[in-house]
Amino acid sequence: MQDLASVDWSRAQFALTAIYHFLFVPLTLGLSFIIAFMETIYVKTGNPEWKKITKFWLRLFAINFAIGVATGIIMEFEFGTNWANYSWFVGDIFGAPLAIEGIFAFFLEATFFAVLFFGWDRVSKGFHLFSTWMVAIGSNLSALWILVANGWMQFPVGTTFNDDTLRNEMTNFFEVALSPVGISKFLHTVSGGYVTSALFVLGISAYFMLKNKHFQLAKKSFIVAASFGLLSSLFVLFSGDESAYQVAQKQPMKLAAMEGLYKGEVNAGVVAMGILDHSKKIGDNKDPFILKIEAPYILGVMATRGLNNFTPGIDDLVFGNEKFNIPSAQSRIDSGKIAIKALENIKIAKEENNTQKVKELREVLQENMHNFGYGYLDKPEDIVPPVGLTFYSFHTMVALGTYFIILFFVTLFLSMANSIEDFRKILWLCVFSIPLGYIASEAGWIVAEVGRQPWAIQDLMPVGIAATDLASINVKISFSLFAVLFTALLIAEIKIMLKQIKLGF
């Protein structure tokens, strides 16, 4: 019997690990490229100032990288420790991207990492630069494969259920690897990471400029960060739009929660800003918003790439909408239960060697397989994720993304005009914008992961079934240990980082 408290604690533990891990990953993704650009300029120009600049950012990169690795190892093994049923049910598919990540990305990173830090006087300039690029490519490739795996959980493709082995099995690797959800998640996540890194470099450089310390070196870094940041933030806009479209097509409930949209609309508007009414219940006629500023048509266009199309809301997805051919959650639950029952009966028919019955039941199973996970839900409302958290996280991310584009545009323009030092308030704004990149990144992950609840694998497996059969006391203890350890390491990281920044170039 599954201990439900243990499921919730496992969710909390995974969320804790992911949140901590993603405090470090975005900086690794982007800073590795920023450093590679800086070192390339050094190798091209031979100007030792650029070497000094590269080495300064490299020191900060190393401090961040170490803790990123420390928190990252947990992610891989937690699939086994806390989500064992999930690991078996989909390991045939999910394990492959993780193994490829290990072979092609992790080793690339790990091997050239040593050259990056200890190779300055041991290998040639060219080979060192090559190693720097390999570390950057390796860390970004790593993100690609893990996001392919995550994309598959959001939109399972290239797979079929095998009733002999009682699990999902891969039937088309390229469908998994090139899934539009996985690719758009990758592009959006890494470009978001580049923005966070650019803000980090921009803010610290601005601080040095304000304090008139290492002014020329800081200004050079500032220009690199502003250029990289502007390009990245514009790309985030594009990839974010594509991500939202994919969500609308494959996870309409998540989109509805992101927008607080209860009743579907034709030509739906996007909520630019809003305050949700927490007393709103699914299916009632209450306005979900206490306050709302809406831009008309935009959500409809984002979600359907056209005008006069219907965007379903939470109520439509829970209770169904015949006009737009949307089935109710209850009908999907019923269909899921038929699939589960058919699977049980297949087992009995196999024991009886009744091949005809097995064949018939298989057809029933396949017909209802797309609703398999629904069969484990108790009531239609279970398909609704936490709306408030998803809505506010999404809007925080979008608002910050818009602000970043403006900030990078202004800072790059003023840097090119060679007058950024005259705008001290903007420089201070850059300093205070450093944490905003992290907030936007974390908010993005909250949207992606909270917004897809209750699913471990969309429509196929709810989290309650995915978890390891553990007494909750085990997970409570491990959660507490992780929380203490990660917090201690985070404090250590911040203190060391601040000291290194203070020591300067």
495 makes contact with another protein (CB under 8 A): yes
- Phi and psi based region of residue 297 (left: phi greater than 0; alpha: psi -120 to 50; beta: remaining): left
101 makes contact with another protein (CB under 8 A): yes
Q: In which residue are the tokens 């005259």 written?
A: 422
User: Three-state SS string across 250-271, please?
Assistant: HCHHHHHHHHCCCCCEECCCEE
Task: Rank residues 161 and 289 by Cβ distance to another protein and give the closer one.
Answer: 161
125 makes contact with another protein (CB under 8 A): no
Among residues 273, 275, 307, 492, which is the contact residue for another protein, using CB under 8 A? 492
Site for another protein in 460-479 (CB under 8 A): 468-471, 474, 478
Single-letter amino acid code for the residue at 114: A
Task: Rank residues 173 and 238 by Cβ distance to another protein and give the closer one.
Answer: 173
Among residues 14, 112, 372, 445, which is the contact residue for another protein, using CB under 8 A? 112
Site for another protein in 248-277 (CB under 8 A): none
Among residues 45, 127, 307, 480, which is the contact residue for another protein, using CB under 8 A? 127
Retrieve residue 303's tokens.
Answer: 């979600």
* Residue 52 CB neighbours (<10 A): 15
CA torsion 410-413-418-421 (nearest 10°) is 0
How far apart, in Å, are the Cα atoms of 30 and each of 114, 140, 181? 19, 9, 22
| Cα–Cα distance, 27 to 270 (Å, whole number) | 31
Helix (H, G, I), strand (E, B) or coil at 393: helix
Q: In which residue are the tokens 């409570």 written?
A: 476
List 309's β-bridge partners, or say none: none
Residues 6+ apart with CB under 8 A from 68: 21, 24, 25, 27, 28
Task: Rank residues 115 and 225 by Cβ distance to another protein and give the closer one.
Answer: 115
Among residues 14, 33, 57, 106, which is the contact residue for another protein, using CB under 8 A? 106
Task: Rank residues 210 and 496 by Cβ distance to another protein and give the closer one.
Answer: 496
How far apart, in Å, are the Cα atoms of 9 and each of 47, 319, 467, 489? 54, 30, 10, 22
Among residues 28, 32, 54, 87, which is the contact residue for another protein, using CB under 8 A? 87
Site for another protein in 360-419 (CB under 8 A): none
Stretch that binds another protein, among 90-98, 256-264, 324-332, 425-433 (CB under 8 A): 90-98
DSSP code at position 155: S
Length of the chain in terms of residues written: 505
CB of 3 to another protein, least distance (A): 13
119 makes contact with another protein (CB under 8 A): yes
Site for another protein in 170-209 (CB under 8 A): 170-171, 173
Among residues 98, 137, 272, 389, which is the contact residue for another protein, using CB under 8 A? 98
Q: How many Cα atoms within 13 Å fall on the side-chain side of residue 273? A: 4
**Pairing relationship of beta strands 289-295 and 270-276 according to DSSP bridges:** antiparallel
CB of 158 to another protein, least distance (A): 10
CB of 307 to another protein, least distance (A): 42
Query: Helices 252-259 and 215-250 meet at what angle, rounded to 10?
Result: 120
79 makes contact with another protein (CB under 8 A): yes
Among residues 125, 379, 424, 499, which is the contact residue for another protein, using CB under 8 A? 499
Retrieve residue 289's tokens.
Answer: 């918003």
CB of 500 to another protein, least distance (A): 7
List 295's β-bridge partners, or say none: 270
Site for another protein in 151-170 (CB under 8 A): 162, 165-167, 169-170
Which H helix or E strand runs over 188? helix 180-210
70 makes contact with another protein (CB under 8 A): yes
345 makes contact with another protein (CB under 8 A): no
Number of chain residues interacting with another protein (CB under 8 A): 83
293 makes contact with another protein (CB under 8 A): no
Task: Rank residues 267 and 472 by Cβ distance to another protein and give the closer one.
Answer: 472
Stretch that binds another protein, among 120-128, 244-252, 323-331, 434-442 (CB under 8 A): 120-128
List 291's β-bridge partners, or say none: 275
Give all strands (DSSP E) within 125-236, no chain letters. 159-162, 167-170
Stretch that binds another protein, among 28-36, 194-202, 444-452, 482-490 (CB under 8 A): 482-490
List 271's β-bridge partners, or say none: 294
* Phi, psi at 335, each rounded to 5°: -65, -40
Q: In which residue are the tokens 């239960």 written?
A: 337
352 makes contact with another protein (CB under 8 A): no
102 makes contact with another protein (CB under 8 A): yes
Task: Rank residues 94 and 391 by Cβ distance to another protein and give the closer one.
Answer: 94
Stretch that binds another protein, among 91-99, 258-266, 368-376, 379-387 (CB under 8 A): 91-99
Stretch that binds another protein, among 105-113, 304-312, 388-396, 410-418 (CB under 8 A): 105-113
CB of 480 to another protein, least distance (A): 12
Stretch that binds another protein, among 104-112, 198-206, 328-336, 444-452 (CB under 8 A): 104-112
117 makes contact with another protein (CB under 8 A): yes
Task: Rank residues 123 and 429 by Cβ distance to another protein and give the closer one.
Answer: 123
Task: Name the residue among 106, 111, 131 with its Cα closest to residue 35.
Answer: 131
| Cα–Cα distance, 421 to 461 (Å, whole number) | 55
List 188's β-bridge partners, or say none: none
CB of 22 to another protein, least distance (A): 16
